[in-house]
Amino acid sequence: MDYVEFNATVRPARLAIRDLAQDLVLSYSEFDDRVARCATLLLDCGVTAGERVACLSHNRAEIIILHWACARTGAIFVPLNWRLSQAEIVSLLEDCQPRLLVADGLAQALELEYFDIAEVLARAANLSPWRGTPVPADTPSLMLYTSGTTGRPRGALLTERNIGETALNFALLGQVSVDSVFLCESPMFHVIGMVTSVRAPIMLGGTLVISDGFVPERTLERLGDPQLGISHYFCVPQMALALRAQQNYDPARLNNLKALFTGGAPHPAAQIMEWVDDGIPIVDGYGSTECGTVFGMSLDLDTIAAKAGSVGVPTPRVEARIVSPEGVPVAAGESGELQIRGDNMTVGYWGRDEDYREAVTGDGWFRSGDIARIDDDGYFYIVDRKKDMFISGGENVYPAEIEALLVRYPGIQEAAVIGIPDEKWGEVGCVFYVSDGATVSAEELSAFLEGKLARYKMPKVTRRVEELPRNSAGKLLKPSLRQQYQDGKA
């Protein structure tokens, strides 16, 4: 499963990595050599099989090289979210107990001993390449912490088999080939930045272009640069909106893109259609830290238009089902919990066996916690998070359905809906919204939503806020909104 070594053998001179921030370019032969020497470096630092190598750094080629070196030696690579607070980062380090911390300048404020990531390649260059016995594919090589929107983050353990399945799933869904060029700006502590954006092109012998972060105007220039030839780019819907808002946005310059691939948040159909009208496939998908890439939309513009709002279909390598609270599969069109099974699924949570047992059914299905439905054509739609659903007058209400409509209301920039207690109905919807300055009443929203939603789904309370609370990964924190409501702060 070592695709770096494979490609170094069959296409040694082909461009593997281009690191834009460092002006570093590596062929597959050079990439493989750097990995082998870094494997020796890790062993010289006392890292043995099963031990953790933590990393705190902005995107750079060394992160990918170090992860592959860990995979070859049996160690576990742990990229840390540098957007977290100092206390949160220290907590993660205490949880994973790394043998070695590799970091850039971000670690200085932590006052911890670390190996400077900028010195990795120079130090490794003086060492002999390590060519040991291949590690079994079912050995964990990566630990990714969940974002922890409702509790303490959990370290999901991923093996090379798990990672390879995600790469293969996306390669099938995203039309990846030896000619593909991925621009990776998603942070490498995230499954998209660490696995999907990296492993898919490298598996097929394509090229990985690494950026140190998303800067909308700069990103657009890179996506339209014929010298870079970017074919695949991942972003969340908010980033896609930011790209369209730039003065240098010109769809004609993006003709080399296979698609813009989005996920991680609900994507209103109206926004999808703006891209379709410009002739650019914007392809929604679905995945998770624990299961990697699961679903993806077709890249066909007509299909995207017909199925706007869908996260697509799974590949034949992934099993997916939607079940009732009793665990019984539901019919097409009905909502239930999405469950997933396949070799892409995590093999456990670091030090939290009980959590893992609760997350997986007795017959091996991963409980995603997401409410979904499937249409008659086999396309999946994410309705909402299971924990975000509330019950009004005995009916299930999924906030994401309401939120997708509210962003069309003039003046509303962002909106989030939670269930709040109500004497008559049990719970009703409360809208927290960010606007251009105008205050919007529940009555005005109900009038706007009339005919678009069932009456029991109509929100009864509104609260204007300066911003919606999000965690360091950009995910909305609805528990914080509930607390704000309870405290009377909104």
Q: Quick check: 101 and 54 in contact, CB under 8 A?
A: yes
Among 86-95, 361-370, 388-397, top mean pLDDT goes to 361-370
219 pLDDT above the threshold of 60 = yes
Note the pLDDT of residue 244.
Answer: 93
385 pLDDT above the threshold of 80 = no
Note the pLDDT of residue 206.
Answer: 98
Q: What's the rounded mean pLDDT across residues 484-489?
A: 78
Q: What's the rounded mean pLDDT across residues 54-77?
A: 98
Q: What's the rounded mean pLDDT across residues 425-433?
A: 89
- pLDDT tens digits, 129-182: 999 999 999 999 999 998 654 457 899 999 999 999 999 999 999 999 999 999
Choices 3.30.300.30, 3.10.580.10, 3.40.50.300, 3.40.50.2300: CATH for 389-487: 3.30.300.30
Q: What's the rounded mean pLDDT across residues 3-9?
A: 98
Q: Alpha carbon of 75 to those of 39, 46, 60: distances in Å? A: 10, 11, 20
290 pLDDT above the threshold of 80 = yes
The SS3 assignment for 141 reads strand
Note the pLDDT of residue 161.
Answer: 98
Instruction: Answer with the residue of higher pLDDT: 422 or 4.
Output: 4
Q: How many beta carbons lie within 10 A of that of residue 311, not counting itself? A: 26
Listed residue (141, 130, 100) closest to 34, CA to CA = 130
398 pLDDT above the threshold of 80 = no
CATH number of 3-381: 3.40.50.12780
DSSP string, 156-177: EEEEHHHHHHHHHHHHHHTT--
Separation of alpha carbons 184 and 233, rounded Å: 7
Min mean pLDDT across 117-131, 140-154, 341-355 is at: 140-154
112 pLDDT above the threshold of 80 = no
Note the pLDDT of residue 86.
Answer: 82
Min mean pLDDT across 41-45, 74-78, 110-114, 411-415 is at: 110-114
Separation of alpha carbons 72 and 134, rounded Å: 6
Token couple for 303: 């299909």
Q: Alpha carbon of 189 to those of 59, 290, 462: distances in Å? A: 9, 13, 35
| pLDDT bucket at 395, cuts 50 / 70 / 90 | confident
**Domain extent listing, the chain:** 3-381, 389-487
Mean pLDDT of the chain: 92
Phi, psi of 179, deg, nearest 5: -90, 0
For tokens 């809906």, the residue is 417
Note the pLDDT of residue 149.
Answer: 46
Q: What's the rounded mean pLDDT across residues 463-489?
A: 82
| pLDDT bucket at 107, cuts 50 / 70 / 90 | confident
413 pLDDT above the threshold of 50 = yes
Listed residue (408, 403, 453, 455) closest to 430, CA to CA = 403
pTM for this model (two decimals) = 0.84
Separation of alpha carbons 215 and 185, rounded Å: 9
Q: What's the rounded mean pLDDT across residues 267-284?
A: 93
Note the pLDDT of residue 147.
Answer: 66
390 pLDDT above the threshold of 90 = no
Listed residue (37, 27, 38) closest to 4, CA to CA = 27
Note the pLDDT of residue 303.
Answer: 97
Note the pLDDT of residue 424.
Answer: 78
